[in-house]
Amino acid sequence: MNPPTSSPPTPSLQVAVLGIGLMGFPMARRLCEAGCTVSVWNRSRSKAERLEAFGARVADTPTDAVAQADIVITLLENGDIVEDVLFTQGTVEGLRPGSVVVDMSSILPRQARDHAARLTAAGMHHLDAPVSGGTVGAEAGTLAIMVGGEPAEFERLRPLFELLGRPVHVGPHGAGQLAKLANQMIVGITIGAVAEALLLCEKGGADMGKVKQAITGGFADSRILQVHGQRMVERDFTKRAAVAVQLKDMRNALATASEIGFDAPITGLFEQLYAQSVDHGLADLDHSALFVELASRNGMV
């Protein structure tokens, strides 16, 4: 793992991380190694306990985790769970006045705006700051971080964000989640384009690996071609980001599009393809496993 390249935050900074999953673990570890005082909570305590070796304090409840925190980072599965942890479980009541909740989960923009309003009314601050770059980016501290909220709060937390990746302030509350939806639309659609193109080549008698090599560097090249295309060539669909999560993101994009009166027919088509992949038992495979769904349609499995 590369060391952080930016100056660490104030040594006395107290950070709570709620949600220690595939992304939460490496991100919390980087904060520990940068000198932050970190408390962590996860519904399955054993996942959080792995961070004790890096100096984190493991809390039994989210309320306990945030009791002394200046900054609370949430990395939870969806907006309903974020709402449950923050509001239904009473975590907000345990926050220190003036503290900031940084929601790095991927949720609906309207949910982010609602959470921001409720936290502001309670005397706290809020930024929605979803990320892209996967576990590789989380390990290396190179995540793309899309931030919505007040510019002053963004600047205040910039040093913390820079320990985790490259932050960009994209607009008011909810705008970070809009940017993440755009990211996920592009990722999900491009995975489908790469899968369909490589399968066409294989069906026609070409070597998929050689085709990928041949188009590298041309206009069709992309990180999706290089990373997910290689997974397709190798038939390696070990979960890094699940088909089920990609489906959730496509549905969130369509729900948001409907709310603002935007027609998104391409996203709608791919929502159906990912939904069919889930129906056919691919939910817990990597999202590049859309390749398997398309291969099955063509009798190539």
Q: Which of 126, 149, 110 is nearest to 74 (CA)?
A: 126
Task: Assign residue 4 a region (left: φ > 0; alpha: ψ between -120 and 50; beta: otherwise).
Answer: beta
Rounded to whole angstroms, how far apart are CA atoms 208 and 202? 6
- Answer for the pair 119, 190: CB distance below 8 angstroms, yes or no: no
Residues 6+ apart with CB under 8 A from 265: none
- Answer for the pair 59, 40: CB distance below 8 angstroms, yes or no: yes
Residues 6+ apart with CB under 8 A from 230: 212
Rounded to whole angstroms, how far apart are CA atoms 224 and 205? 23
What 8-state DSSP symbol labels residue 96?
P
How large is the C-alpha radius of gyration of the chain?
Answer: 20
Rounded to whole angstroms, how far apart are CA atoms 54 and 208? 43
3-state secondary structure (DSSP) of residue 47:
helix
Q: Which of 24, 32, 240 is nearest to 138 (CA)?
A: 24
As given in the structure block, the two tokens for residue 103 are 């929601």
Residues 180, 210, 239, 248: which is the catalytic one? 180
- Measure CA 205 to chain center: 37
Question: Could you confirm whether 180 is annotated as catalytic?
Answer: yes
Distances (CA, A) of 64 to 101, 169, 211: 15, 30, 54
Query: Residues with catalytic annotation?
Result: 180
